[in-house]
């Protein structure tokens, strides 16, 4: 997981300056889950909003949000993450909850639902 402070200039909602947000809406179960994965292997991810007390205050989709809403939120977070090069980042589908180590798949269609794959951090 890799929380970071949102830039006020790119943030349409009025959040308090100290508000910490996530840069992705899913995580994996264990640190280092990406190690040993092949480029065509997919691993299940866990929606962060189901593990978070008040997901919306953290910039996450609400529990029970529609697939399109989850994707909209995740895509916006991914845009921020895409502006920062992180060599170990891979991709994930925020709707199907699967991740892959191949950053070359970024913004290409998810093999399951066809939505764009978003940038995913493994730590």
| Of positions 25, 74, 91, 95, contacts Zn ion by CB under 5 A | 95
* Contact call for residue 91 and Zn ion (CB under 5 A): no
Residues 98-117 that bind Zn ion (CB under 5 A): 110, 112-113
Q: Which is nearer to Zn ion, 6 or 81 (CB)?
A: 81
The answer to the question of residue 70 lying near Zn ion (CB under 5 A) is: no
Site for Zn ion in 4-33 (CB under 5 A): none
Place of tokens 């809406």: 25
∠ CA 64-66-69, rounded to 5°? 115
- Residue 74 touching Zn ion (CB under 5 A): no
Which one of 11-19, 45-53, 67-75, 93-101 is the stretch in contact with Zn ion (CB under 5 A)? 93-101
Residues in CB range of 111: below 8 A, 6 or more apart: 42
Q: Which of 73, 96, 101, 118 binds Zn ion (CB under 5 A)?
A: 96
Task: Name, in order, each residue with C-beta under 8 angstroms of 24's C-beta and a sequence gap of 6 or more.
Answer: 2, 48, 74, 77, 78, 81, 92, 94, 118, 119, 120, 121
């Amino acid at each position: 997981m890799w929380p970071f402070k949102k830039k006020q200039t790119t943030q349409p909602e009025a959040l308090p300056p100290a508000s910490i947000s996530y840069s992705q809406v899913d995580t994996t179960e264990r640190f280092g889950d990406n190690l040993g994965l092949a480029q065509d292997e997919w691993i299940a991810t866990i929606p962060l909003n189901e593990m978070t007390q008040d997901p919306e205050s953290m910039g996450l989709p609400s529990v029970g949000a529609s697939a399109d809403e989850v994707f909209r939120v995740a895509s916006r977070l991914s845009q921020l993450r895409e502006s920062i090069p992180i060599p170990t980042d891979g991709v994930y589908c925020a709707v199907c909850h699967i991740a892959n180590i191949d950053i070359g798949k970024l913004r290409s269609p998810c093999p399951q639902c066809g939505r764009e794959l978003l940038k995913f951090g493994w730590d």
